[in-house]
Every structure is written in C-alpha cells, then in structure tokens.
C-alpha cells in the first residue's frame, strides 16, 4: 500500500509494508524539484534515517528495477 500527497514544494509518497511477516517501518519519499529524500524510522535507535538521491540517481534506480544483473550507464 502507498499514499501520495502533494505539498507546496514536494510530492510526498509513503510506502507501507503491510504484507510481510516481519514488517518494516514505513518509508517516506519527499520528491522535490532537484532531489528526492527517503526517510525511515530505525526502530533500534528510535531515530529517523534519511538519504538523499539526485534526480540522475532516481532515473538510474528506476531503470535498474527492470534490468538483469550487470553494470550499466544510461545515455542521457
């Protein structure tokens, strides 16, 4: 399950892990014009961990989801 909300300066996508027997914490993606941040609560430390992806990294990740094992470089 996931939700999508449009904020003033970002689109916020929340991914909910509802089918796993060992469920993970929700992941929140904040999609801005030039960067995507991903946040997830670390239950061990009770702190939110955040990583940032450039738009090029997001494009590479999207392409990687549909490719077999290997090393690739996308042509822009």
- Work out the pLDDT band at 2, boundaries 50, 70, 90: confident
Tell me the pLDDT tens digit for each residue of 17-56: 887 778 889 999 999 999 999 999 999 999 999 999 999 9
Cα 35 versus chain centre, distance? 11
| Every domain of the chain and the residues it spans | 2-64
**76 pLDDT more than 80:** no
Which pLDDT does position 52 carry in this prediction? 98
User: Strand, helix or coil at 10?
Assistant: coil
- The residue count of the chain comes to 76
Which pLDDT does position 5 carry in this prediction? 94
- Work out the pLDDT band at 60, boundaries 50, 70, 90: very high
User: Strand, helix or coil at 11?
Assistant: strand
Residue linked to tokens 């450039």: 54
Cα 71 versus chain centre, distance? 21
């Amino acid at each position: 399950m996931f939700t999508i909300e449009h904020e003033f300066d970002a689109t916020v996508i929340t991914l909910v892990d509802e089918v796993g027997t060992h469920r993970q914490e929700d992941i929140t993606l904040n999609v801005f014009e030039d960067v995507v941040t991903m946040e997830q609560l670390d239950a061990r430390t009770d702190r939110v961990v955040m990583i940032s992806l450039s738009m090029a990294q997001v494009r590479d990740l999207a392409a990687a989801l549909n490719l077999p094992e290997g090393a690739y470089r996308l042509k822009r």
